[in-house]
Every structure is written in structure tokens, then in C-alpha cells.
Amino acid sequence: MSILQKETELQEIVQLVGPDALPESEKIILEVARMLREDFLQQFAFDEVDAYCPPKKQYWILKTILAFNDAAVNALNRGASLRQVLELPLRDQIAVLKTTPHEQALEDMPVLCSKIAEDIAGIEVY
């Protein structure tokens, strides 16, 4: 909830001065909030898999998005750029979880959480 509330505040700033005025630490909040809205909260009723999501899968999708957030914030604090974080294919891998069959997604998500931490921690800081 705090990420989505912070996004609302940042959207007002973006509308006034544009997204380039935000520091990278706030741009990552906008990106994670977008992921929360599109990949966690939003469902497509006509999709066979996405029309219903068991609580355990919801938990793991949220945990995966928050793992991305934590790893990205840590990388930015180390001096990595937002571009380096967003160039990794992790966001796309998270986005497809909602349409991945439930049992397969439940198998993949713990591995993906570890991969997120490793891949983002492995970003070289210049």
C-alpha cells in the first residue's frame, strides 16, 4: 500500500515537471507500483488462468514483486543505475506469472525470487 500511495504523490510531481525531474530512487517506485497494478492487482476475466488466482499464487506474485523492489533499491543504493536494473529481463518474467498455470507458477516463483536477488546484486557499479 505504501508503494502505491507514494506513486500517487509522485504522479502529481511528474504531471507538473515531467518524469526526468525525479531521482532514480523515486523512478523505481513508479516502476514497482506499475508492476503491482498490472501484474498483481489487475486480472483478465477472459483469460483461463488469470480469471482466478489461488491465494498461495497471489502471495508468491506479491513476494516476487517486492523482492524485485528490495533488490532494485539495494542496487541503486550501491550506485547502480536504474537503466541497468530495468534492462534485466526480470520484469518480463514477473509479468508472465499471472498467466502461467498455477502449479507451474508456484514452482517457478521461489526460484525467480532467488534469481532476482542474484541478477540485480550482480550488476556492476561503475
Give this prediction's pTM.
0.91
Mean residue pLDDT across the chain: 93
8 A C-beta contact, residue 36 and residue 28? no
- What does residue 51 show for φ and ψ, rounded to 5 degrees? -65, -30
* Per-residue pLDDT tens over the stretch 26-42: 999 999 999 999 999 99
Domains and CATH numbers, the chain: 2-121 (1.10.1140.10)
Instruction: Compute CA 23 distance to the chain's CA centroid, rounded to the nearest angstrom.
Output: 18
Statement: residue 125 has pLDDT above 90: no
What is the rounded CA–CA span in Å between residue 99 and residue 84? 26
8 A C-beta contact, residue 1 and residue 7? no
What is the rounded CA–CA span in Å between residue 28 and residue 52? 29
* Per-residue pLDDT tens over the stretch 38-77: 999 998 888 888 888 899 999 999 999 999 999 999 999 9
